[in-house]
């Protein structure tokens, strides 16, 4: 017997002697049923859409401009006019001058809403000479009340002022804070013709 045939025969005999493994039952697979997926709106951090809408309305800037009635405009203008009229300064119709040229001027004033010091100044001029001579000066009290003021000052040039007609001027000037340098702010000004009396 050829060698190859003998080997095949021996292998076939050995296969007959091996125990046969019992067959196992195969369970058929259950077909999958597709499930419909309903899309759901994702709300961040558990905030409902209604709450988001309300928050948007609260934070949205308002662009509506309220209409101003003619009555409101008239009232605002009247208030501004009263405030401006409340700040006044006056000069008495007569002043005094001595033989050595010392002049005394007087009057009243009222001012409000000052943020810095308010200075009350006065001056007088006479004749064809347009030179105004400063007569004294003081610090005003801006509390909305009526105050009286009196300034006395001498003129260095002898004979510059004498009894008779003259032109006087008085001002309320505030040095309002503005950065490093205060800015002048005029509260009231008044100029008028007066008469200087001897004495």
pTM of the model: 0.57
Residue 122 has pLDDT above 90, yes or no: yes
184 - beta bridge partners?
A: 175
**Could you tell me which residues come within 8 angstroms of residue 109 by beta carbon, excluding any fewer than 6 positions away?**
88, 89, 90, 120, 140, 146, 147, 149, 170, 172, 188
pLDDT in tens, 168-189: 999 999 999 988 899 999 999 9
Of the candidates 75, 101, 106, the one whose C-alpha atom is nearest the C-alpha of residue 89 is 106
Q: Rounded mean pLDDT of 116-143?
A: 92
Query: Which residues contact residue 19 at a Cβ distance below 8 angstroms, ignoring those fewer than 6 apart?
Result: none
**Of 64, 154, 170, 53, nearest in space to 108 by CA:** 170
- Mean pLDDT of all residues in 88-99: 96
> In the structure encoding, which two tokens stand for residue 144, read together?
């909305």
- Residue 87 CB neighbour total at 10 angstroms: 19
């Amino acid at each position: 017997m050829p060698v190859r045939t003998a080997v095949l025969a021996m292998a076939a005999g050995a296969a007959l002697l091996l125990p046969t493994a019992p067959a196992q039952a195969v369970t058929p697979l259950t077909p999958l049923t597709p499930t419909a997926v309903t899309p759901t709106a994702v709300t961040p951090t558990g905030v409902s859409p209604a709450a988001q809408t309300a928050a948007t309305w609260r934070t949205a800037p308002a662009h509506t401009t309220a209409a101003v009635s003619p009555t409101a405009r008239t009232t605002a203008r009247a208030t501004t006019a009263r405030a401006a009229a409340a700040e006044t300064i006056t000069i008495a119709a007569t002043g005094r001058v001595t033989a050595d040229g010392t002049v005394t001027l007087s009057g009243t004033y009222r001012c409000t809403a000052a943020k810095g010091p308010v200075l009350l100044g006065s001056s007088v001029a006479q004749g064809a000479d347009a030179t105004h001579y400063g007569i004294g000066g003081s610090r005003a009290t801006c509390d909305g009340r009526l105050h009286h003021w009196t300034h006395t000052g001498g003129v260095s040039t002898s004979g510059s002022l004498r009894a008779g007609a003259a032109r006087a001027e008085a001002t309320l000037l505030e040095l309002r804070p503005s950065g490093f340098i205060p800015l002048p702010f005029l509260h009231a000004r008044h100029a008028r013709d007066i008469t200087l009396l001897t004495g």
